[in-house]
Structure 1
């Protein structure tokens, strides 16, 4: 199901944007944006077709379709140790929008937010887009451990938010219940909000346990938002569908009102919500095979790069990206430019623009493709030097 023969390259060249097949010259292999090269599950395709067969595409409820909210709550409760009811779920136009709306709700201009460094650029962008000020908390680029002493030292009277990425992009770390509980204790002691981006929480290897942030303590449940999306685990980036979850119903109701979801200003495509609900309820067999394929690709990429003399790879516990350290002295930008020019492979530089200051000296490689494409891409990178 996940071989080279299962990839429609002509379709990708027409449709796969964001630094991928549709944006690059022929002959270049994109191991860039974290978006699968494979078709979404047949069950999801069929679910969309069945929904539109009666010809009606009417407004849905402002906060989301009941079946969508229920499927997300059930998924978190069953797979992520959550404790949500459907009313605790708000449908949003992607996890990225959820991050922005949370920053807008929590922060006034000049307020400060603590984010991890390195981490995906959307954390910084969301805070700055609403006039907030970013403070970076260092994360060890090899182990992804958070410097909690430094985290506490960054807190002052202007601090209002701690944002975490779990599992961590680009380091592939799953934060344990104990670590999350310590973060909740720190946040509670200083009356801070916590946002936990959990878009990667379905792509977890070796049957590791995952705890959604709000589940680890009463303090965590009392003042936090969780962000979730479908673009990684189900290949639905173009449908722009995600969710914000909050255990405090009064807070979520206020958030919904202030984010303009109680009107037709905001709202989410009903088709996208149906696709999300079907993904969680009917696409499990496809997802299980996909996850098994990804774990094989992770191990393959790790072994190939370990034997190379130019990159020192990490072994992610989750996500379908690697974040290897550059060993030949080039900067992240120099390395990615070199492999694009001489190896015809596109990867993401570990530059401040994409991941923060702590990412320098690394590149990010997406391995959500066929084994054949992955092997060819890594071979080209190594042989380009």
Structure 2
């Protein structure tokens, strides 16, 4: 199902933007943005068709369609140790928007948020967009280990938020219940909000247990938001659909009101919500095959890079990106430019722009493609030196 013959390259060259097929010259292999090369499942496609057959695309409820909210709550409760009711769910038009709205809700001008370094650039962008100030907590760029002593040392009277990425992008670490509980204790001791970005929480390998943040302790349930999206697991990034989850209904109701969702200013496409609901309810067999394919690709990438003499790979527990260390002394940007020019492969440099200063000396490679494309891409990277 996930072979080269299943990839519609013509469609990708028309539709796959964000540093991928539609933005690059012919002949370049994009292993860049975390977006699958494979089409969405037929179940999602049919669900969209069935929904629009009667010709109506009317306004939906401001906080989200009932079936969407029920599906997301069930998804977290059955697979991620959650304890959410459908009322605890707010539909948003992407996990990224959810992150922005949470930062806007929690932070006043000059107030501080603690984020990981390295981590996806959206954590920094969303805090800065609302006038907040960033404090960086070091994360090991190979293992994803959090410096908890540093985390505590960064807290001061201006601190309002700790933002965590679990599973971690770009390192691929899944944080254990014990680590999350320690974070919840630190947050509770200082009366801080916690935002947990869990967009990657479906794509976890080797049977590793995933615990949604709010499930790990009573402290974690208080003053916390969880963010989720469907672009990674089900390949529907263009539908811009995500969710904010919060166990405290009063907080979520206030958040919904202050985020302008109780009007027609904000809101989410009903079609996108239907697609997400169908993904959860009917596309799990497709997803399970996708996950198996991704695990094989992770192992393939790790083996090829381990023997390269150019890059030393980490071993991601989750996500479909790998974050190897550069071994030839080149900077991340120079390495990426060299590979693009000499190897005709596009990758993401571990630069401050994308992941923070702690990412320097690494590159990020996306492996959510066919084994044929991945093998050729990695071969080109290695042989370009």
In the superposition, the TM-score normalised over structure 2's length comes to: 1.00
Q: What are the within-5 Å matches in structure 2 for residues 84-95 of structure 1?
A: 84-95=84-95
Aligned to 2:126: 126
SS class of match (2:196): strand
Corresponding residue of 1:280: 280
Distance 1:141 1:238 in 2: 30
1:163 matched residue in structure 2: 163
Q: Note if 1:349 corresponds to 2:349.
A: yes
Q: 1:106-121 residue pairs with structure 2 within 5 A? A: 106-121=106-121
Aligned twin of 2:232: 232
Provide the secondary structure at the position in 2 that maps to 1:186: helix
Matches within 5 A, 1:135-284: 135-284=135-284
Q: Which runs of structure 2 are paired with 1:22-101 in the superposition (5 Å)?
A: 22-101=22-101
Say which SS state the counterpart of residue 243 (structure 1) adopts: strand
Task: State the partner residue of 2:338.
Answer: 338
d(CA) in 2 for partners of 1:298, 1:336: 20
Question: After TM superposition, what 4+ stretches of structure 1 lie above 6 angstroms from structure 2?
Answer: none
1:226-258 CA distance string (max 9 Å, x none): 000000000010000000000000000000000
- Where does the alignment leave 5 or more consecutive residues of structure 2 unmatched? none
CA distance in 1, matches of 2:229, 2:300: 27
The residue matched to 1:144 in structure 2 has which SS? coil
* CA-based RMSD: 0.3
Please state how far the C-alpha of 1:163 moved relative to its aligned partner: 0.1
TM-score, normalization by structure 1: 1.00
Q: Distance in 1 between matches of 2:363 and 2:305?
A: 12
Residue by residue over 1:157-178, the C-alpha shift from the partner in whole angstroms, topping out at 9 and shown as x without a partner, is 0000000000000000000000
Q: Name the residue aligned to 2:315.
A: 315
C-alpha distance in structure 2 between counterparts of 1:268 and 1:181, whole Å: 33
Give the structure 2 partner of residue 6 of structure 1. 6
Match of 1:232, SS state, is helix
CA distance in 1, matches of 2:185, 2:348: 35
1:185-227 alpha-carbon deviations (Å, 9 max, x no partner): 0000000000000000000001111000000000100110000
Q: Extract unaligned runs of 5+ from structure 1.
A: none
Distance 1:241 1:321 in 2: 21
Give me the whole-angstrom Cα distance separating, in 2, the residues matched to 1:101 and 1:325: 34
Q: Give, in whole Å, the separation in 2 of the partners of 1:143 and 1:276.
A: 32
Is 1:297 aligned with 2:322?
Answer: no
Report the number of matched residues.
Answer: 385
Supply the distance in 1 between the matched residues of 2:143 and 2:65 (Cα, whole angstroms): 40
Q: CA deviation at 1:351?
A: 0.2
Deviation at 1:322, TM superposition (A): 0.2
Counterpart Cα distance in 1 of 2:297 and 2:30: 15
Deviation, 1:310, is 0.4
Query: CA–CA distance in 2 between the matches of 1:63 and 1:42?
Result: 27
Superposed CA offset, 1:69-95 (max 9, x none):
000000000000000000000000000
1:143 deviates by 1.2
User: How far apart are residue 142 of structure 1 and its match?
Assistant: 1.4
